[in-house]
Structure 1
């Protein structure tokens, strides 16, 4: 196939062709790593699980569970079943083990299906162990032929189940990506289409408020993925959109169009994969799960889940994280209103440039 030069008779240098191809291959590798690494390396570590019962029984169960799943569970002793339920409902624990005459395992599919499945496996092992102990005790106590003791069932109770409209939690987990993408696209579009830092501030606020109402209406009213109060959900989604969009417009106001990279690089490639939307933050290698909660995608995922299913949980941290990113981004735009250096295009020059562009007939 003939390689035709451009109108000026020039070809792209071979070195540049090779560089572009290799750079694109590296970019694809980074994208694949960013989205596949968290799921490939996900492994439960130090999951907070409440436990209640006699001290000797608690020690025996802790040793057995640690032998079955080394390092997966971090037990927190509570007084009784009521305290265990309260710990789950406030998201201080993902589940609980209640020991006694009628042992029981408490789970919460709304908190995490993966942890709920882990607890179901623990319940099976616990049931096998208590029945083996009961049989041994009966054999030791019997003078003649030992009578088979009654079988002890270990019940598994889902304390905070997922809603019937989203029984697998797929809608709740999938809701995060459109939220991240919406905030990112909104910030980029406003940065490009709106001239003037203060006008961008207004556009971000209006877009976030309207987007929160619309997305909450779709996710809650139509798909049934969200539960709880519609206006609170709309406020959380709107704040999340602002927390993602505002830093983009803020950095654009300070350093010019290069600030657009804040969206795809920081929010999409870095923060989104460690957000904890699909699996708990304890499944990520330390300290990435905790780091993810300091960024808008992670804070939004936690806040939306807790608003839907855990009204007793302390939600001050995710609210504060989202508000800090949103306000910080808006303040950057305000600062950009007064800047004339730093590589950014002044608003007046941008306006004159836009006005000087020829208008198509």
Structure 2
């Protein structure tokens, strides 16, 4: 079969396969969004808390219940990102504490679930948003929308460095410089202009830059080790798994298994979790996602240096053509 026909068949087959993979990656978690062991606090007297816990247990597998002595302890747990919300039993009736900044979708679900339980018992629930989203972005749309552009910026940076033939230290410096600029620009737009982030500007810029470096380093590192195919592998990993499994539009505990765990081990998911912690929770629970991003960036940039070293060693070990000295003329 001529090579031209083989290429035609490859395109005809591969395009539908890629489309099916993309549809599966984005549609499957979206269609299966539901709470799975979602951390939720219950505070109040032992008897009242036990009754609430039994009522919540009717949502089989939905909640992971944490007991707290009083409302103050429950509020601290929410601000520490140990739970997404808490039901506090008071003499006046049940009170629901939420944190829309941790995920507006989760806060909305908790309101519906707890209100249903209370309505069945003839009570009304007062809802208090302990850590709200900014007034300029009440639905958290900006943070959700930032995941894809940051992933694309990292992929483009890694691909451009590879296409320009930058290697070794020069490639690493280019990737770090581009990531730092992306972080500053993204923080300028999301924080300074749109007012969608509420933490320290420099910390947010650092998180956004580190997220970009994790992606760009992975793409460029794979390309340095395995060749041009590495760019496609890195881009597919980020776009087909990292982006839809990030939990940005809800929470990791709202995704089906194993998407919840996979997403948090990839840069988009870790970056989203870290940005929420830095922007709204004073850095609470930031260690895990920060280490994940750092490892991705370090391994990716290390792969860039290693690939350059291997290429230089291979080039240096290639035999040079024999050069015969001209014979002396007697």
Pair in the same fold by TM > 0.5: yes
Deviation at residue 59 of structure 1 after TM alignment:
2.2
Q: Which residue of structure 2 lines up, in the alignment, with residue 147 of structure 1?
A: none
Cα distance in 2, alignment partners of residues 85 and 182 from structure 1? 37
SS at 2:228 equivalent: helix
1:110-156 CA distances to partner (integer Å, 9 max, x unpaired)? 1122221222123423433554xxxxxxxxxxxxxxxxxxxx64311
Does the aligned pair in 2 maintain the 1:45–1:72 contact within 8 Å?
yes
Cα distance in 1, alignment partners of residues 66 and 195 from structure 2? 34
Which stretches in structure 1 are left out of the alignment for 5+ residues?
Answer: 1-9, 132-151, 350-361
SS at 1:98 equivalent: strand
TM-score relative to the length of structure 2: 0.89
1:62 partnered with 2:33: no
1:307 partnered with 2:278: yes
Q: Which residue of structure 2 lines up, in the alignment, with residue 316 of structure 1?
A: 287
SS at 1:168 equivalent: coil
Cα distance in 1, alignment partners of residues 132 and 202 from structure 2? 22
Cα distance in 1, alignment partners of residues 283 and 234 from structure 2? 33
Which stretches in structure 2 are left out of the alignment for 5+ residues?
Answer: 319-330
Q: Which residue of structure 2 lines up, in the alignment, with residue 206 of structure 1?
A: 177
1:30-82 CA distances to partner (integer Å, 9 max, x unpaired)? 11111111101211111100001122222222222222x22211111011100
Cα distance in 1, alignment partners of residues 316 and 214 from structure 2? 23
SS at 1:110 equivalent: helix
SS at 1:51 equivalent: strand
Q: Which residue of structure 2 lines up, in the alignment, with residue 294 of structure 1?
A: 265
Cα distance, 1:83–1:243 mapped onto 2, change above 3 Å: same
Deviation at residue 203 of structure 1 after TM alignment:
0.5
Does the aligned pair in 2 maintain the 1:89–1:312 contact within 8 Å?
no
Write the mapping of 1:1-361 to structure 2, written as runs, cut at 5 A. Answer: 17-67=8-58, 69-102=59-92, 103-131=94-122, 153-311=124-282, 313-340=284-311
Cα distance, 1:347–1:128 mapped onto 2, change above 3 Å: farther
Deviation at residue 13 of structure 1 after TM alignment:
6.1
Deviation at residue 215 of structure 1 after TM alignment:
1.4
Does the aligned pair in 1 maintain the 2:168–2:309 contact within 8 Å?
no
Does the aligned pair in 1 maintain the 2:167–2:304 contact within 8 Å?
no
1:177-230 CA distances to partner (integer Å, 9 max, x unpaired)? 111111111111111114322211111011111111111111111122222111
Choose 96-105 or 54-63, whichever is displaced more.
Answer: 54-63
Deviation at residue 279 of structure 1 after TM alignment:
1.3
The structure with the largest alpha-carbon Rg is: 1
Aligned length: 317
Cα distance in 2, alignment partners of residues 37 and 348 from structure 1? 50
Cα distance in 2, alignment partners of residues 15 and 246 from structure 1? 33
Does the aligned pair in 1 maintain the 2:105–2:249 contact within 8 Å?
no
**Structure 1 runs of 4+ off > 4 angstroms?**
10-16, 345-349
Please, what is the CA RMSD of the aligned residues?
A: 2.4
Cα distance in 2, alignment partners of residues 347 and 171 from structure 1? 50
